[in-house]
Amino acid sequence: MNQILLVEDDPFLVDIYKTSLEEAGFKVEIATEGDEALRKLKEKRPDLLVLDIVLPQINGWEIIKEIKKEENLKDLKIIILSNLGQKTEVEKGLSLGATKYLIKAHYTPREVVEEVKKILINN
């Protein structure tokens, strides 16, 4: 069973995405703050990180930069799931090493699950 770390600070969205991913057969761990996400990543490497950018304490950009410094995490697959939809933000996310950049408003939870499957199952 693939392990996903979902980093999201909105309890409503955490519930929706966690439920959708679990129904699709994934094991989901939650982090609601940036420092908590980094701690969990170092404790147990997931198969995929689903990451919001706007977070308390440490933002998603900083999390990605920290991941890329860690030898055992630097090749971790990352889906950015954010409301930041400017072209410059999407380009920044991909250039920092995200596998995929999804804008929340453009994807239903079901579509997010399909993107996760493409990365974890079809690769």
Report CA dihedral (57, 60, 66, 69) to the nearest 10 degrees.
Answer: -170
| Closest C-alpha to 5, from 73, 51, 63, 52 | 51
Question: Does the CA dihedral 90-14-20-77 come out positive or negative?
Answer: positive
Tokens matching residue 108: 């239903």
pLDDT in tens, 24-44: 999 999 999 999 999 999 999
pLDDT in tens, 47-78: 999 999 999 999 999 999 999 999 999 999 99
| pLDDT at residue 9, as a whole number | 96
Residue 98 predicted with pLDDT over 90 = yes
pLDDT in tens, 99-118: 999 999 999 999 999 999 99
Residue 97 predicted with pLDDT over 80 = yes
First to last CA, the chain: 15
Whether 6 contacts 29, CB under 8 Å: yes
Residue 121 predicted with pLDDT over 80 = yes
Residue 80 predicted with pLDDT over 70 = yes
Residue 1 predicted with pLDDT over 90 = no
Enumerate residues 6+ apart whose C-beta is below 8 A from 118.
none
Mean pLDDT of the chain: 96
The band of 123, judged by pLDDT with boundaries at 50, 70 and 90, is: low
Distance CA 7, CA 91 (A): 20
Output the CATH code of domain 3-120. 3.40.50.2300
